[in-house]
Structure 1
Amino acid sequence: MSFENPSRERIKELLQQTRTIAVVGLSDKPDRTSYMVSQAMQQKGYRIIPVNPGVKTVLGETSYPSLADIDEPVDIVNVFRRSEETVSVAQAVLAMKHKPKAFWLQQGIFNEEAAAVVEAEGIEAIMDRCIKVEDSILQPHK
Structure 2
Amino acid sequence: MAVESVESDADIRSILEYETIAVVGCSSTPGKAAHDIPAYLDERGYEVIPVNPFADEILGRPTRDSLAEVEAEIDVVCVFRPSEEVGGIVDAALERDDVKAVWTQRGIQDDEAAERALEAGRQVVQDRCMMVEHRRLVA
TM-score tier after normalising by the smaller chain length: over 0.9
Unaligned runs of 5+ in 1: none
Normalized against structure 2, the TM-score is what?
0.95
Give the deviation of 1:117 after TM superposition.
1.7
C-alpha distance in 1 between matches for 2:90 and 2:84: 11
C-alpha distance in 2 between matches for 1:2 and 1:58: 36
C-alpha distance in 1 between matches for 2:95 and 2:133: 27
* Residue in structure 2 matched with residue 10 of structure 1 by the alignment: 11
| Alignment-mate amino acid for residue 8 of structure 1 | D
Instruction: Tell me, yes or no, if structure 1 residue 38 matches structure 2 residue 25.
Output: no
Give the deviation of 1:113 after TM superposition.
0.8
| Alignment-mate amino acid for residue 109 of structure 2 | F
C-alpha distance in 2 between matches for 1:58 and 1:5: 30
Give the deviation of 1:5 after TM superposition.
3.0
Give the deviation of 1:8 after TM superposition.
1.1
| Alignment-mate amino acid for residue 110 of structure 1 | Q
C-alpha distance in 2 between matches for 1:117 and 1:29: 32
* Residue in structure 2 matched with residue 49 of structure 1 by the alignment: 49
C-alpha distance in 2 between matches for 1:86 and 1:135: 22
Quote the RMSD (CA, aligned, Å). 1.0
Sequence identity, in percent?
Answer: 37
C-alpha distance in 1 between matches for 2:133 and 2:57: 26
Give the deviation of 1:118 after TM superposition.
1.2
Give the deviation of 1:35 after TM superposition.
0.3
C-alpha distance in 1 between matches for 2:22 and 2:28: 14
Judge conservation of contact 2:38–2:48 (CA < 8 Å) in 1: yes
Judge conservation of contact 2:5–2:114 (CA < 8 Å) in 1: no
Matches within 5 A, 1:15-94: 15-16=16-17, 18-94=18-94
Segments ≥4 residues shifted beyond 3 Å? none
* Residue in structure 1 matched with residue 101 of structure 2 by the alignment: 102
